[in-house]
């Protein structure tokens, strides 16, 4: 019997419902992180961190094991996977894990994420809400966080497109061809943030349609805000800030169109 909660049908959300839903989801998640639940996530994350480095790794076994220990599939995505990815990053920085081991571990975390998405039982690619573009420009190689964010946004009924590991020219072309409500750049290094800022400047200069532009990623953990390029409307890794900013901007545009 499949132990992942399936949702065979998907309720379409009205535009104005998304902000409230996001806030409710985040509030409930924070309330649910009581000491017992936090301990469960900590224990499960420790197990998954070791299992993802094992040569016996299997994504289905990993997910089934975690769910049998009382974790919901969404909690694995929202808490365990980011927590472990950060741990791998710290261990690599401390020379406690090799680059090869970190690469294998993160690749296995990505397989866990893909397995959960597949097992949900509905197509997460067809959101009917706000349309956003998630970008990790070449040569950025750290894309796991972007994939997690994409899943979180799709669960809130956003329509999400991703441009990962591609040149800036392809991103500007996609923006020209689509009316995105927001473009979210991910960067793990200052160099990647600066390349993203150059892309944003091209968008500002050449296109009449101006989506909201965000910068996120692990670079925010390594540098102060004043050290990062100022080309972006928002610099944040917080889901509620992203969702509320997009919703608020859309409401403002709608009011302007009525005047």
CA atoms in the 13 A half-sphere facing the CB of 54: 12
pTM of the model: 0.80
Instruction: Check residue 253 and give its pLDDT.
Output: 42
Instruction: Check residue 6 and give its pLDDT.
Output: 37
What does the alpha-carbon distance between residue 220 and residue 142 come to, in Å, rounded to a whole number?
A: 14
Given 3.40.50.280, 3.40.50.150, 3.90.1300.10, 3.40.640.10, which CATH number is that of 131-258?
A: 3.40.50.280
What does the alpha-carbon distance between residue 69 and residue 58 come to, in Å, rounded to a whole number?
A: 17
Looking at the chain, the whole-number percentage of residues with pLDDT higher than 70 is 79
Q: Is the dihedral of CA 233, 236, 237, 241 positive or negative?
A: negative
* β-sheet with 131-137: strand ranges across: 159-166, 131-137, 182-186, 212-216, 234-235
What does the alpha-carbon distance between residue 251 and residue 243 come to, in Å, rounded to a whole number?
A: 12
Contact 166, 137 (CB under 8 A): yes
What's the pLDDT tens digit per position in 154-164?
888 899 999 99
Instruction: Check residue 38 and give its pLDDT.
Output: 81
Instruction: Check residue 142 and give its pLDDT.
Output: 85
Instruction: Check residue 192 and give its pLDDT.
Output: 94
- The parts of the chain modelled with pLDDT lower than 50 are 1-19, 21, 25-28, 30-32, 35-36, 124-125, 251-259
The domain ranges of the chain are 17-119, 131-258
């Amino acid at each position: 019997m499949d132990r992942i909660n399936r949702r065979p049908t998907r309720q379409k959300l009205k535009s104005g419902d998304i902000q409230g839903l996001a806030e409710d989801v985040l509030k409930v998640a924070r309330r649910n992180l009581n000491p017992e639940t936090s301990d469960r996530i900590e224990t499960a994350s420790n197990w998954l961190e070791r299992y993802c480095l094992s040569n016996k790794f299997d994504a289905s076994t990993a997910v089934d094991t975690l769910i049998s220990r009382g974790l919901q599939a969404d909690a694995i995505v929202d808490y365990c996977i980011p927590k472990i990815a950060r741990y791998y990053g710290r261990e690599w920085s401390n020379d406690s894990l090799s680059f090869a081991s970190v690469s294998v571990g993160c690749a296995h975390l990505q397989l866990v994420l893909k397995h959960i998405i597949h097992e949900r039982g509905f197509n997460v690619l067809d959101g009917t809400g706000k349309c956003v573009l998630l970008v990790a420009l070449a040569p950025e190689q750290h894309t796991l966080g972007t994939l997690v964010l994409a899943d979180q946004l799709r669960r809130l009924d956003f329509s999400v497109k991703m441009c990962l590991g591609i040149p800036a020219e392809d991103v500007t072309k996609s923006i020209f061809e689509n009316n995105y409500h927001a473009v979210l750049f991910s960067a793990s290094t200052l160099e990647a943030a600066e390349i993203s800022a150059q892309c944003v400047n091209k968008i500002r200069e050449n296109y009449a349609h101006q989506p909201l532009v965000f910068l996120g990623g692990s670079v925010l953990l390594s540098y102060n805000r004043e050290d990062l390029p100022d080309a972006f409307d928002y610099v944040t890794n917080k889901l509620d800030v992203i969702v509320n900013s997009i919703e608020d901007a859309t409401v403002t545009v709608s009011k302007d169109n009525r005047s």
